[in-house]
Amino acid sequence: MKQVKPELNIFTENIFEEWQPDEKDIIEKTKRILEFYIETLYDKSCLYEKEFNTITLDIVLCNSEKTHEYNRDYRGKDYPADIITFAIFADDENSFIFDGEINLGEIVIALDKVIEGVNRDVSLSKNKEQELYFLISHGLMHLLGFDHQSEEEYNFVMGKQREALECINYDQI
């Protein structure tokens, strides 16, 4: 049975003082990206054949010191990352649905790494907002259970991300 448009609860927290992107805009665009993924990838995602009416996730905007701490403490990797995802529902076979709600997990993005990456590689022709939404769309793929350990998986994830970003007029951001 295919799910019909669940309620989407997306919460944001920005603890990075140097850049305060519009959190309402982040929530709205993240909802549109997630709706696209649910519509096109439902039967391949961790949501498949689950009964739910609400999906919840968190987006934390921070600095690379925080992602370095998370990477070290939770992943055993001693370096900062631009994005870390904690896919609560997809990664835990004992995940449960409580009162029809699925908590997909958390996307953590280091905004200083976003700014640094855009400034370092100007040949990409991206601005920091575009890079932010690229990372959010990537994080959503992970929260839905998609990985990119092989070249084939990587190409699939990147292809779907490009399609998803079209629904938020990515090129116009």
Distance CA 134, CA 111 (A): 13
Count of structural domains, the chain:
1
Mean pLDDT of 14-28: 97
Distance CA 24, CA 72 (A): 31
CATH number of residue 132's parent domain: 3.40.390.30
List the beta bridge partners of residue 13. Answer: 60
* Residue 118 domain boundaries: 7-172
- Domain assignment present for residue 131? The answer is yes
- Domain assignment present for residue 80? The answer is yes
- Domain assignment present for residue 32? The answer is yes
- Domain assignment present for residue 1? The answer is no
| Inter-CA distances, 74 with 38, 83, 91, 120, 165, Å | 28, 13, 14, 28, 29
What does the pLDDT look like over 67-120, one tens digit per residue? 999 999 999 999 999 999 999 999 987 888 999 999 999 999 999 999 998 888
- Domain assignment present for residue 2? The answer is no
- Domain assignment present for residue 145? The answer is yes
- Domain assignment present for residue 148? The answer is yes
What does the pLDDT look like over 38-70, one tens digit per residue? 999 999 999 999 999 999 999 999 999 999 999
Q: Tokens 């519009």 sit at which residue?
A: 22
- Domain assignment present for residue 155? The answer is yes
Distance CA 46, CA 155 (A): 19
The model's pTM: 0.94
The token pair at 45 is 């995602």
